[in-house]
Chains A and B, each alone.
Chain A
Amino acid sequence: MKLTLSKGRVIVHFVYAIISAAMLIPFLLVVSISISDDDLLNKDGYKWIPEKINLLGYQVMLKASSALVRAYGVTIVVTVIGTLLGLLLTTMLAYTISRRDFRYRGPVTFYIFFSMLFQAGIVPLYILMTQYLHLRNTIWALILPLLINPFYVMIMRGFLAKIPGEIIESVKMDGASEWRIFAQIVLPLSKPALVTIGLMLAFGYWNDWFYGLLLIDEQKLVPLQLLLYRNINAIEFLKGNPAVQRLGVDYSHLPTLSARMAMTILAAGPMMIVFPFFQKYFVSGLTVGALKE
């Protein structure tokens, strides 16, 4: 028994090693380009192992480090506030529709779900944010639009529905309010789910640039991904546009390919360091069942 189990485990580890390598190889290309010489890139194409290491890309990016550091700050603040707030609201909402004895479960579920299907487009949201809520150039412009994702509410509902009804029922018998049940029973029991949805929300905030593009004019509030987006897209737009050639735009000073890839690494990197930190909750989640006894 013990032997076959470990044999199986060896195979699993082996399979995973292969999959991870396959996932990683394309990523290495980005790293390689970021430390390559731009003239050689144009001449010889992208190489997995650069012939000549050139850190100019990183130097260029670090020269603009004050903007980079500020953008990090904005993104971190937005991610932390947005994730905590979004997680709370998502869980509250998901919990009510996970309760089979909630009378308005059906309509509320549909109300949430419907919002996944239709998209009003950006103009009405823009009007709402700028003319009614006056949130342009505030941190909330980056937080509020992504606060509750119906997709996450539905997944959360699926997790919460697993909490045995008897537990809730018995606490209710003791006269506990719904608030208490939510805070004392539901939240502690759904740690893995909270971490999962929290991570998704956090990644969503970390990766978003669109609302910044739309609603942020001030340099000091530009989030990281918007900075990245601008660095990567500015040159794509100008190069492919015949009218630009006609009028004459000097784009020879815009970031080179290696600089753009360096920026990509600098923007994604930290999340990769933070990620394993959260993973311990997954592992500790395994003991949730034991806690119940």
Chain B
Amino acid sequence: MNWMTRELKHLRKNKELILLSLPGLAYKFIFYYLPLVGLLIAFKNYRYDKGLFGSAWVGFEHFKFFFTSDVSWRVTRNTVLYNLSFIVLNTVIALALAVLMNELTKRWFKVHQTILFLPYFLSWVVVGYITSGFLDYEHGAVNTLIAKFGWNPVNWYQEASYWPFILILVELWKAVGFQTLVYYAGIVAIDPSYYEAARIDGATKWQMIRGITIPMLTPLIVILFILGVGGIFRADFGLFYYVPNDSSFLYPVSDVVDTYIIRTLRSIGDVGMSTAIGLYQSVVGLVCVVAANFIVRKINDENALW
């Protein structure tokens, strides 16, 4: 009873803030939490005429195919390693670009920021065309260049060893503008008086970046990092399917969970199996995020997400 009255008092005290968050919370409930019921499909032999609740339970049957496959380790490794490199490289490069961007004159700032963002508007199918424009065996720009030096052309789509670099490069090219924008906004939001004070103390640009910009951006970096970790087991299907042109020679380095699932299930088309793997990806993501958040909190409580 005592507990309840105390909680009620808290509720009243936080009333306005609760109201402020209510529309968003309600939205998430309707458009996200309600549909989550659908995850039950992963454990059911879903029949259209019986519906979700009428269909028979099958336990973990739908998960089996992924864990019994001899490539599940390979696609898991690829997915995690690519995502880790994207997180690290994206952060470092976007951060560097954002810091540099702050030094540009106003006119050039506009030009460069627009250009950085251009690739974001291309669909992966189109990026796939562009990649083949570079790497096509006969007409690709790279082989044309190689021929000028008198070297032997490379059959890019049949040589797996180059592709980790190519895929990372393409992803950076497409995504780095987005993150740069976020970090740049973070830099802009820093109180200029810090820099003013530092300048009076005779600090160099480099010192200011290390002493002010980076520490001020740390919370943002940490947020983006934890968010990235949550998706560590999910890969961008478009990147790994259209850019390597689904070439079977490249599977050892290009096959990730999402491409693998879509390819293997295309002849069966079972909604239960694909839901099951989606669920598995989510659970792994959740575990990683909780762990990451725990570590962050150990280091600095302020930066933890919750």
Contact = CB atoms under 8 A, between A and B. Distances in A.
Contact of B129 (A33, A206, A229): A33
Interface in B8-53: 10, 13-14, 16-21, 23-25, 27-28, 30-39, 41
Interface residues of A, number: 106
Given A23-B116, A103-B14, A92 B38 contact: no
Contact of A236 (B125, B173, B285): B125
A255 B29 CA distance: 42
Contact of A109 (B23, B27, B103, B305): B305
Interface in A89-127: 89-90, 92-93, 95-97, 99, 102-106, 108-121, 123-125, 127
Contacts of A229: 123
B106 interface: yes
A26 B24 contact: no
A116 B18 CA distance: 21
A145 interface: yes
A13 interface: yes
A264 B185 CA distance: 29
Contacts, number: 259
Nearest to A182: B20
Chain A interface mostly = helix
Contacts of B182: 155, 196
Interface in A106-157: 106, 108-121, 123-125, 127-128, 144-145, 147-148, 150-151, 153-155, 157
Contacts of B189: 159, 162, 190, 192-193, 285, 288
Contact of B282 (A45, A118, A182, A196): A118
Interface stretch (A51-59, A62-70, A245-253, A270-278): A270-278
A3 interface: no
Contacts of A154: 223, 227, 305
A129 to B, nearest CB: 9
A195 B279 CA distance: 34
Interface residues of B, number: 94
A290 B116 CA distance: 29
Contacts of B14: 102-104
Contacts of A15: 100
Interface stretch (A4-12, A73-81, A213-221): A4-12
B27 A89 contact: yes
B21 A92 contact: yes
Contacts of A276: 110, 114
A289 B191 contact: yes
B306 A113 contact: yes
Contact of B35 (A114, A120, A155, A179): A120
Contacts of A24: 115, 118
Interface string A258-269: 000100100110
A275 B117 contact: yes
Contact of A285 (B103, B109, B130, B188): B188
A201 interface: no
B227 A282 contact: no
A225 B285 CA distance: 30
A254 interface: no
A104 B18 contact: yes
A29 interface: yes
Contact of A158 (B140, B141, B219, B285): B219
A81 to B, nearest CB: 15
A92 B104 CA distance: 33
Contacts of A26: 119, 127, 130, 133-134, 173
Given A5-B205, A179-B16, A286 B192 contact: yes
Interface of A: 5, 8-9, 12-13, 15-16, 19-20, 22-24, 26-27, 29-30, 33, 44-48, 89-90, 92-93, 95-97, 99, 102-106, 108-121, 123-125, 127-128, 144-145, 147-148, 150-151, 153-155, 157-159, 161-162, 177-179, 182, 190, 192-193, 195-196, 199-200, 203, 206-207, 225, 228-229, 232-233, 236, 257, 261, 264, 267-268, 271-272, 275-276, 279, 282-283, 285-286, 288-290, 292
6 nearest A-B pairs in the assembled complex, by CB-CB distance? A45-B139, A124-B38, A93-B24, A124-B35, A178-B16, A268-B121
27 contacts: A9-B103, A12-B103, A12-B104, A16-B112, A22-B173, A23-B177, A26-B130, A27-B130, A30-B129, A45-B139, A46-B132, A46-B133, A89-B27, A90-B24, A93-B21, A102-B14, A119-B282, A128-B34, A151-B227, A159-B186, A232-B126, A257-B129, A279-B109, A283-B106, A285-B188, A286-B192, A289-B192
